[in-house]
Chains A and B, each alone.
Chain A
Amino acid sequence: MCLAIPARIVAMDGESATVALGGVKKCISTALLDDLKIDDYVLVHVGYALHKVSEDEAEKTLALFAEAGLSPDDEGAPA
């Protein structure tokens, strides 16, 4: 699998952007995506942004993990 990491866009310039992760900044290419803006989170793989990270879906996924302790019969299968 491919190592890819979510990082926040802090600067943009044409098809390049600078992303930040835990204080580290790296220049990457945004040639594979459209409609990006500063503060968006993107998945970075081999120096390219591959996909935007959906904040909404991330929250929902975390909520799913937290519900895991309950059995599906209790309140409907979370999946």
Chain B
Amino acid sequence: MKYIEAFRDGRLAKKLAAAIRNEAAGGRAYHLMEFCGGHTHAVFRYGIHDMMPENVHFIHGPGCPVCVLPVSRIDHAIRLAEEHDVILCSYGDLMRVPASGRRSLLKVRATGADVRMVYSTQDALKIARENPDREVVFFAIGFETTTPPTAVAIRQAAAEELNNFTVFCNHVLTPAAIQNILESPEVRRIGTISIDGFFGPSHVSTVIGSRPYEFFAEEFQKPVVIAGFEPLDVMQATLMLIRQINDGRCEVENEYRRVVTREGNRKAQQLVADVFELRRYFEWRGLGLVPYGALRIKSSFASFDAEKRFAMDVPAAAEVPGCECPAILRGARKPTDCRLFGTVCRPDNPLGSCMVSSEGACAAYWSYGRFRQSVEPQKAERFA
């Protein structure tokens, strides 16, 4: 597979590992935050942490749209399916996330709600066309990568007058999240979490370009390296971050040049701007109310907005007592700090989104096994 296998070459990995070891040999620690869950996934799946020197630490950030989705939004979607008899279309990632009352989309499907998993918004449109007598709601989630596909679907629905199609919009914005973390007390003032640099998200950047990160590098004086999500990309980006930190530079560098440019995908950006506008506030799980961190559908497309068509009052959901997802998402706690982790909260019985999402920090810790203190306590320590 072109452009895939070459970026997983083990021989090149050894060279990069040696270079990293060499450059990080100065004695200081490097705390590098992977904003995107996909980078977390790559680190664990390929065993990249095995190849890193002891003083290089990867911190997992909140770049997982499933993890940051407040439980009340899933409750809302469930109610749409159950009370309004809609066909609820959702990406696979959401199907097992526990909502209030230990319910989930998958569970309510089993009791008769018409919940359908889709791969693309195009599939949701198709379902709407094939079922003109039913309301079809698409449960939209994701960062800037996933937003343009929703914009296309809404415009297409408008053009076709597909009046039974609406979108339940939960799209969120990356720069707002990064800002929120960098401004959080733990990072900015108290300094309990040190972050020396960021891996910029891979595919969000193909859409928004590398330009938006220039503000962060400048304002917060932290280097950013936009990294692809193949393991060699992650290692090369690690090397680039270490070099910047050693040199005292705070620039935006682009390791993922094969698909990321400074300007990004202008057509996609325009389509999004046509359909969506900023919400003043949106609740992010773990980060609280984030200003200008999420999108809603513009009034010109109001007839495709599920929140307008199906007005509902959905109460805020309570977190499971003891669940540390919020702190873990901010990087303030590790999964192993949560007393529910590995005891009652496990992949086969997830209580929080960090465990159920394939990119959640807790799921990553568990699946790739480094949490098991009894086996390798020193290695387990190195995950933050």
Contacts and interface: CB of A to CB of B under 8 A. Distances in A.
Judged by CB atoms under 8 Å, the answer to whether A and B touch is yes
B19 A68 contact: yes
A2 B148 contact: no
Contacts of B170: none
Contacts of B260: 51
A66 B9 CA distance: 10
B327 to A, nearest CB: 21
A22 B1 contact: yes
B203 A5 contact: no
Contact of A1 (B9, B39, B156): B39
A55 B119 CA distance: 27
Closest 4 A-B residue pairs measured CB to CB? A47-B120, A1-B38, A1-B36, A2-B145
A22 B5 CA distance: 11
Interface string A39-53: 001010111101111
A45 B236 CA distance: 23
Interface in A23-47: 28-29, 31-34, 41, 43, 45-47
Contact of A6 (B2, B15, B240, B268): B2
B6 A62 contact: yes
Interface residues of B, number: 60
Nearest to B125: A29
Interface in B147-162: 148-149, 152, 156
Interface of B: 1-4, 6-7, 9, 12, 15-16, 18-19, 22, 36-39, 41, 63-64, 91, 119-123, 142-143, 145-146, 148-149, 152, 156, 201-204, 206-207, 228-229, 232-233, 236, 239-240, 243, 253, 255-260, 265, 267-268, 271, 359
B228 to A, nearest CB: 8
B121 A4 contact: no
Nearest to A6: B3
A3 B181 CA distance: 23
Contacts, number: 145
Contact of A54 (B15, B255, B257): B257
Given A32-B149, A58-B258, 6 more contacts: A1-B201, A1-B359, A45-B145, A61-B255, A62-B12, A68-B15
A61 to B, nearest CB: 6
B145 A69 contact: no
B205 to A, nearest CB: 10
A21 B1 contact: yes
B257 A61 contact: yes
A77 B207 CA distance: 28
B152 A32 contact: yes
B11 to A, nearest CB: 9
B258 A57 contact: yes
Nearest to A8: B2
A79 B240 contact: yes
A43 B148 CA distance: 14
A15 to B, nearest CB: 9
B15 to A, nearest CB: 4
Contacts of A41: 2-3
10 contacts: A1-B41, A1-B359, A2-B142, A46-B120, A46-B146, A48-B152, A50-B148, A50-B206, A69-B15, A69-B18
